Structure 1
Amino acid sequence: MALTLTGFMLPAAFAGEAEAMQGAADSKDYSHYVDVSVLSVWASPEAPRNMDAPALQNPVQPRQWTESMSAADKRGLLGNLDTQALYGMEVEVLQEEGNWAKIAVEEQQTPKLAAGYPGWVPKEQITESPRFELLQHAETAQVTDPTAFLYDDRSLETKSLEISFNTRLPVVFEGENKLLVATPSDGNKWIDSGDVTVYEDESTIPEPEASDLQATAEQFMNLPYLWAGTSGFGFDCSGFTHTIYKAHGINIPRDSKDQARSGTAVERSNLQKGDLVFFAYNGGTGNIHHVGMYIGDGRMIHSPNSDSTVEKVTIAASEYAGSFHNARRYLD
């Protein structure tokens, strides 16, 4: 027997979902998931400023937040905001303190912690979700536009939530030109099929060519920079490269200094499209401070700083000309 939902017949495989979900709910040890479109992960519960209120709610208001900040305000996030995570990502709760929880973002590699990138978030922005965990075996809809909307209705008229590029949600049902996807705590929502690509799981994402990485990166031309950003609402330099590769099924470290130690070393004279190029203080001999993606002809695409947007530059004619440190290749 199949279940009927908003005029569609759901696969019979979901008919037993309620019973299985109840079984998962009876467990005392199930996973936590990001329950806002973009989760900002802070250095401490004291790190956020008054102006950061739109990023501390549920739901968050990422556009309102970023558009309200000046370049100086954005620079004020340095040392206070550590990274971001996307709707539906799994996190591990490490510690609780009042209304805050210290978490590890499991999909972001870092030597700081084996469990994932650590930091503090308001508890109301994460959720324990036995049903969402149950559906992790389902096909996944991955957002391919810079942002996309979830809808309450199958006619795609009533907007529910704007979510970011690379958000991945379980597919409950595939209709004509639309999908029904599960959310961590708000039931099922509809999304336009044109805004996503459906994969059986991350391992089935096709291995990209360098041109695929470049085309994905170019979607974000002129997007304002955001320190610690990893979403279609704003990237920092390493959040940009991490997310572009992640969208194509390649999980590289979160931070530039760690990206510069992974992959395969490449000589500057042998750069190919898709390679990551790194820049450091003291004429390239000091600590790494920036990363971009090489796109050929001596050029890179990158998210530079709080005064700028995602752009393409000729490296030799840019402010980075004298600070090249090294390059790494992550494509076979």
Structure 2
Amino acid sequence: MTNQTFDEGTVWVTAVQVATVWTTKESARGIDEPGLTNPTDIDRWVTKLTQEQKTALCNENRVQSQLLYGEVVQVTEIEGDWAHVVIPAQPSKKDPSGYPGWVPLAQLQEVEKDYWNRPKSAAIITKKAWLEKDKGEKVVKLSYMTCLPIVNQHPKRIEVATPNGTMFLPNEAVHIYGTQQGMEKKNGDEIVKIGEQFLDLDYFWGGMSSFGYDCSGFSYATHKACGYQIPRDASDQAEAGAPVDVENLLPGDLLFFAYEEGKGKLHHVGIYYGNGNMIHSRTNGKSVEIIELKGTIYEKELCATRRYWVE
């Protein structure tokens, strides 16, 4: 492998609606082709896979995480058609610079920093939104919490910088925020409220988009929307944040679960919903749901509670 260094005046960004981050260059299978191309067809990919094929993404350690359109990465190596990246916005103990993994090189684009760095950004706050060309032609359907730099604000649409030139998002689909300041911080009730809109969305291992979240991707996205950058993985999420006594839990707090009645390996995270309930992206073959903890395996497996939000 060859170490790559690039012009300090440029930055690498994700150039497809959702780019999956693979464990190795060999991790992707032929059946994963709709998620490997540019453009991708995430809807087709996640619906085409059988439950067994989806489970293999986890059990065979194939997928690490995902990137949203326009998300910045650091390219550390290029080998053939693949790039090894770290993701600064997804903290991880796996790499101090950000979450590591492999992405098809065709799904990344190098852009000028002067083009990409803008005072304001637009975050998609609907479950999905279409990116449009100047005359309204639909280009690609983007995920919730896709964030793009703002070039200009028009009466009905926001003009944004993209890896493929300036395009447009509808005003009603986005929230505008100061790029340096980040999204405004909200409380735990808002974290829960955001999670509710994804009820019945199918679980997807490694999922970081509204095409399918895994358990920690779901907690990451809901916190991101409320102005909090938390670690990517459940194990890392459980080590940061402020500890909370069970009797003092409030909506928006994170609940962590481990095998062997809480004494073994941590395997799941959910969001406390209030009144003894939890909202979570459960597991492969299931979907985002609200459940009562009492009398479930989760009640026995609870091993940690953390709070990231502030009043």
TM over 0.5: yes
Q: Hey, what does 2:27 align to over in structure 1?
A: 47
Q: Secondary structure at 1:217's aligned position in 2?
A: helix
Moved more, 172-181 or 73-82: 172-181
CA–CA separation in structure 1 for the residues paired with 2:179 and 2:295? 42
Which of these residues, 139, 143, 150, is aligned with residue 164 of structure 1? Answer: 143
Shift of 1:109: 0.2
Shift of 1:58: 0.4
Q: Secondary structure at 1:76's aligned position in 2?
A: helix
CA–CA separation in structure 1 for the residues paired with 2:182 and 2:205? 31
Structure 1, unaligned runs of 5 or more: 1-25
Map 1:82-101 → 2, pairs under 5 A? 82-101=64-83
Q: Secondary structure at 1:203's aligned position in 2?
A: coil
Shift of 1:187: 1.0
Shift of 1:100: 0.7
Q: Hey, what does 2:3 align to over in structure 1?
A: none
Shift of 1:318: 3.1
Which of these residues, 62, 74, 78, is aligned with residue 80 of structure 1? Answer: 62
Superposed structure 1 runs of 4+ greater than 6 Å apart = none
**Percent identity of equivalent pairs:** 35
Which of these residues, 273, 278, 293, is aligned with residue 300 of structure 1? Answer: 278
Which of these residues, 95, 108, 111, is aligned with residue 93 of structure 2? Answer: 111
Whether the 8 Å CA contact 1:140–1:199 is kept in 2: the answer is yes
Structure 2, unaligned runs of 5 or more: 1-5
CA–CA separation in structure 1 for the residues paired with 2:274 and 2:114? 42
Between the two proteins, the alignment pairs up a number of residues equal to 303
Q: Hey, what does 2:108 align to over in structure 1?
A: 126
Whether the 8 Å CA contact 1:277–1:326 is kept in 2: the answer is yes
**TM-score of the superposed pair, with normalisation by structure 2:** 0.94
Shift of 1:145: 0.8
Q: Which has the larger radius of gyration?
A: 1
Change (3 A) 1:28 1:244: closer
Q: Deviations over 1:149-172 (max 9, x none)?
A: 001134x3x210111111111111
Map 1:174-323 → 2, pairs under 5 A? 174-184=153-163, 186-201=164-179, 203-323=181-301
Whether the 8 Å CA contact 1:180–1:189 is kept in 2: the answer is yes
Whether the 8 Å CA contact 2:17–2:68 is kept in 1: the answer is yes
**TM-score of the superposed pair, with normalisation by structure 1:** 0.88
Shift of 1:137: 2.4
Q: Deviations over 1:115-144 (max 9, x none)?
A: 1100001111111101x6533223101000
Whether the 8 Å CA contact 1:102–1:120 is kept in 2: the answer is yes
Q: Hey, what does 1:153 align to over in structure 2?
A: 134
Whether the 8 Å CA contact 2:123–2:145 is kept in 1: the answer is yes
Whether the 8 Å CA contact 1:202–1:249 is kept in 2: the answer is no
Whether the 8 Å CA contact 1:31–1:133 is kept in 2: the answer is no
